[in-house]
Structure 1
């Protein structure tokens, strides 16, 4: 068996950011792992280029395409729901607001779906009800003795709706770039 050099593609899902390891020089196995579980595994010899189709996140069709480059190098492309990886992440960044915070050594990732106002905490849907306040809505919930408060208020200008998250009374900065262009 040859040694494995692993490249990683970042995939954003509505509830999580996951790494998808792609074996780049292994000739006997191809596998895709997302959210710590194996999504795709193919056993074959010497097929280093081509496409593989797999499904994630409630049936989203994904394609990994491996194209040869000069000098025994390979180009990896990821397509999600028929869109290039870049187009898919751009559409997600328009539909979602994301915050990350670490409290007492524990990381929290809060994702808001703007169209439904669904709130996800570390990948799990919170069944919370937004309450109307002056100029918007407020959703409050507790986790690990911390109070999370998410507000959506009108800006009064062309900016539209302003989304704010506070945890234990301290505002958490919004992740404007979902770190989708990280290169490893």
Structure 2
């Protein structure tokens, strides 16, 4: 009988590295008002291990679980948006991983979000700015922070004023005149219109 030799190799690396993420099974990018967040999920199908990372930071770790299917719920972003990863068996030892945001599938959430927000990206003074308007609350976010704003009624609609450094900005809201289109929001920075990006 041949002797059995077991060699253990340990490598010490930062808490967040691909080296340690050997059971990585799913990655999602989720656009919220405070930015785009990366959600990564590890699932050890032999140990039941579950690890959730949000923007590289470990949010949940469960090392040994007998139940391989189930769900993990956690919060994402500055507004503490509820997220849930569903783990379902599809056949034998194959699993399906789905992400829900605020109780909706990621696809449905993003479709709804594109109707309730406007997003602009601009570069000025050597810096990138991602500006998001939440239409339902008229909150304005820039690079992950909610901005102080001042609303004003004007002849053809409303203007929501704010500043970015030394730059005067406002979001103008005017009626499209068409029921299906609703209100059109336009970002103006230093009297220049900024094109909206698809969210």
Q: What range is the shorter-chain TM-score in? A: 0.7 to 0.9
Higher alpha-carbon Rg: 2
**Which of the numbers 136, 150, 155 marks the counterpart of 2:157?**
136
Task: Return the TM-score normalized by structure 1.
Answer: 0.77
Shift of the 99–67 alpha-carbon distance from structure 1 to 2, 3 Å rule, reads: same
Q: Which moved more, 1:141-150 or 1:128-137?
A: 141-150
**Which of the numbers 61, 66, 70 marks the counterpart of 1:41?**
61
Deviations 1:126-180 (A, max 9, x none): 121111111111122222333322111122333321100122333222123x2xx
Query: What's the RMSD between the two structures over aligned residues?
Result: 3.0
Shift of the 124–41 alpha-carbon distance from structure 1 to 2, 3 Å rule, reads: same
**Which of the numbers 66, 77, 83 marks the counterpart of 2:98?**
77
1:74-153 to structure 2, matched below 5 A, reads 74-153=95-174
Shift of the 32–97 alpha-carbon distance from structure 1 to 2, 3 Å rule, reads: same
**Which of the numbers 10, 14, 27 marks the counterpart of 1:8?**
27
Question: What residue ranges of structure 1 are gaps of 5+ in the alignment?
Answer: 179-184
In structure 1, distance between residues paired with 2:121 and 2:105: 26
Shift of the 168–32 alpha-carbon distance from structure 1 to 2, 3 Å rule, reads: farther
Deviations 1:63-107 (A, max 9, x none): 212334569654320012222111222222221111112224422
Structure 1 position 166 matched with structure 2 position 163: no
Question: What residue ranges of structure 2 are gaps of 5+ in the alignment?
Answer: 1-19
Task: Count the aligned residue pairs.
Answer: 177
Q: Which has the higher contact order (CA 8 A, sep 6+)?
A: 1
In structure 2, distance between residues paired with 1:44 and 1:152: 53
